[in-house]
Homo-oligomer: A and B are copies of this chain.
Amino acid sequence: MKALVTGVAGFIGSNLADTLLARGWTVTGLDNFSTGRRRFLEGALQQPQFRLVEAELLDLVPHHEHFRGVDVVFHLAANADVRFGPDHPRRDLEQNTIATANVLEAMRIEGVKTICFSSTGSVYGETEVVPTPEDAPFPVQTSLYGASKVAAEGLIAAYCEAFGMRGCVYRFVSVLGERYTHGHVIDFLRKLRQDPTRLPVLGNGRQRKSYLYVGDCVEGVLTGLERGSGRYNVFNLGTDEYCEVNDSIRVISEHLGVQPVIEYGGGDRGWVGDNPFIYLDCSRIRALGWRPRLTIAEGVQRTIEYLHANPALLEPEGAQ
């Protein structure tokens, strides 16, 4: 099988590429290296079935030849930064919605029939139904990120209907593990390296979130692709548990052997559009035989160990 992975030099993309290669797939990886890292592809680049293309999805349609002969597109490239949407209101639209439209057009032109897409639990906004199933009530978007992803989902569904494609859309909770590069664990580790005596925390620390280990995430994506029966499939992907931000702080502090004073920013949200409670009902993908192997605590632990072994990732953002 031949895959094309967008965002291949990113956290989830590079893990997925390694798994596909290990299973004997041929993989073309696209990345614009805006946030992707070449070092994440060190293993992949040594394999003859892997090809790396530096490409910008916003210019993609003229370069659709990379899609020729591909069986499955794994479209993971995105602006994954939920928090700073209002600082640059166009970025999510461009990187997540318009880039997806370009990927779909390239697929249509080259006759590629299957797409797997990394969506997000943020598309549920502040739903009142928790744990949240895929057919929760029509949500109201609360972030530009969620809005850009729900827009991309709609495009994929409409392309499936109009052009006979098959789509698998995965609504992820926050993902962590090896090659994790942004999110609260790395934020806290960075801050505690600078000053282990105090830790500023957004919100009141009571925000409840669910996390998924990247290895389980990749397995979930492949399970949905291989066993999903519909032309257009939507799967929540998360653990059947949640934790408070305060719980993560405890695990991280214990690991580092520090006892910082926690300085809460206050309020029940970390930022505008933050959802104080994310917990997805994943029974649909579980019914296909998938389940996560790592708990949230184990995933956080694994992430800390990885960052400890790769301290360059803990340098301030943009310095690597």
Contacts and interface: CB of A to CB of B under 8 A. Distances in A.
A218 interface: no
Contact of A136 (B93, B137, B140): B137
B137 A86 contact: no
A273 B157 CA distance: 10
Nearest to A105: B89
A93 B102 CA distance: 11
A120 B138 CA distance: 14
A203 to B, nearest CB: 16
Interface residues of A, number: 42
A101 B151 CA distance: 12
Contacts of A273: 158, 161-162
B138 A158 contact: no
Interface string A118-144: 000000110000000011111111111
Interface in A75-117: 85-86, 89-90, 93, 97-98, 101, 104-105, 108
A140 B232 CA distance: 8
A97 B135 contact: no
A154 interface: yes
A3 interface: no
Determine chain A's interface SS by DSSP, over half rule. Answer: helix
Given A89-B108, A138-B139, A158 B147 contact: yes
A98 to B, nearest CB: 7
Contacts of A135: 137-138
A305 to B, nearest CB: 36
A58 interface: no
Interface of A: 85-86, 89-90, 93, 97-98, 101, 104-105, 108, 124-125, 134-144, 146-148, 150-151, 153-155, 157-159, 161-163, 232, 234, 272-273
Closest 6 CB pairs of A and B: A151-B151, A147-B154, A135-B137, A141-B154, A86-B162, A147-B158
24 contacts: A85-B162, A89-B159, A93-B101, A93-B155, A97-B151, A98-B98, A125-B157, A134-B138, A135-B137, A135-B138, A137-B137, A137-B138, A140-B232, A141-B155, A141-B161, A142-B158, A147-B151, A147-B154, A147-B155, A147-B157, A148-B154, A151-B151, A158-B273, A162-B272
